[in-house]
């Protein structure tokens, strides 16, 4: 099934099944479908979509270099590079590569992209640790089932709440642990024609684990997960993009645009709050399922 059709099926699943099962359906999409071709396009102002169809990669033009969020799968790197060039940018002008979380579908292409660009890689403390392990972090709920990838060394650690300035763009890091220990969401402003909007690249929030891992056995992790959900809900957020675009209905919004410059369907000041609320219900359902299984 082509990803565009499968996306509709997954959306339907999300409406009728517990969120954990819908999230599992997203995870079970073959890599070839995650990496399906997608023409790059401007989201708004200085911000562009340059990833394949199933895995977001977002490019920001700061005026003094490019910032790239996530690198997709190992096999996504060449597509992302081609998209950057197709938009008229140079890959070597990518100065920063910022990671949402260090799983192979969002970090697998980072090593190749850094080699092509010479960019600095940035992540949270726990995210940097997992990147340097090539995804093999025993503290990750998906440890043992998530594919590994080429380790990324010499990662710059970004503090929670740290504001990073590149050119005329300020990017803020928000630690949002849960999906992984190092999960990080990022915010910045994009402006066009005198109108500035808050951009949020909010990390995955699904409570997915390897066989044998139970969140109820890790109360401190669950507490951190809930804190991360609260952080996402409070993000400055006019336009939301998530590492898996379908997790936030991104393609449905894009399809409603009347023209490439029509931003109205993408703007939703409640998007991050709703995204976090849905994830909180999914986490509660997962915990309830684990408790029921323990009885």
Q: Write out the two tokens for 42.
A: 């401007």
Q: Among residues 49, 61, 106, 174, which one is catalytic?
A: 106
d(CA 154, CA 180): 20
- Return the structure tokens found at 115: 């080699």
106 is catalytic: yes
Distance separating alpha carbons of residues 107 and 222, to the nearest angstrom: 24
- 103 classed as catalytic: yes
Exactly one of 53, 61, 103, 129 is catalytic; name it.
103
Q: Which of 160, 213, 218, 284 is catalytic?
A: 213
User: Annotated catalytic residue: which of 179, 201, 268, 275?
Assistant: 179
* Catalytic annotation, pick one of 105, 137, 140, 246: 105
Which string of b and e fits 72-105 if b means at least 16 CB within 10 Å? bbbebbebbbebbeebebebeebbbbbbbbbbbb
Active-site residue flag, 83: no
Q: Which residues pair with 165 in a beta bridge?
A: 170
Active site residue 174: no
* Active-site annotation holds for 262: no
Active-site residue, from 83, 129, 174, 244: 244
The DSSP bridge partners found for residue 200 are 187, 240
Task: Tell me whether residue 192 is exposed, middle or buried, using C-beta atoms within 10 angstroms of its C-beta: 0 to 12, 13 to 18, 19 or more.
Answer: middle
Task: Give catalytic residue positions.
Answer: 101, 103, 105-106, 179, 213, 244
């Amino acid at each position: 099934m082509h990803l565009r059709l499968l996306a509709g099926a997954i959306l339907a699943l999300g409406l009728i099944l517990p969120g954990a099962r819908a999230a599992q359906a997203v995870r079970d999409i073959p890599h070839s479908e995650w990496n399906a071709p997608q023409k790059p396009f401007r989201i708004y102002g200085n911000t562009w979509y340059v990833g394949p169809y199933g895995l977001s990669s977002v490019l920001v033009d700061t005026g003094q270099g490019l910032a790239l969020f996530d690198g997709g799968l190992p096999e996504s790197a060449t597509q992302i590079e081609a998209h950057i060039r197709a938009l008229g940018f140079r890959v070597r002008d990518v100065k920063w590569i910022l990671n949402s979380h260090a799983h192979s579908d969002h970090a697998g292409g980072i090593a190749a992209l850094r080699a092509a660009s010479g960019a600095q890689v940035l992540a949270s403390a726990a995210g940097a640790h997992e990147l340097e392990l090539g995804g093999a972090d025993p503290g990750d709920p998906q440890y043992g089932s998530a594919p590994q990838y080429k380790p990324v060394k010499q990662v710059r650690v970004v503090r929670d709440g740290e504001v990073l300035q590149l050119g005329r763009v300020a990017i803020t890091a928000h630690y949002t642990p849960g999906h992984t220990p190092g999960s990080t969401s990022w915010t910045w402003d994009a402006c066009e024609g005198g109108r500035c909007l808050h951009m949020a690249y909010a990390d995955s929030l699904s409570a997915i684990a390897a066989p044998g891992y139970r969140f109820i056995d890790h109360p401190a992790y669950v507490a951190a997960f809930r804190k991360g959900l609260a952080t996402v809900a409070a993000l400055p957020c006019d336009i939301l993009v998530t590492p898996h675009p379908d997790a936030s209905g991104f393609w449905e919004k894009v399809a409603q645009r009347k023209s490439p410059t029509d931003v109205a369907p993408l703007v939703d000041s409640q998007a991050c709050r709703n995204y976090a609320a849905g994830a909180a219900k999914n986490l509660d359902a997962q915990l309830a399922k684990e408790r029921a299984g323990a009885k």
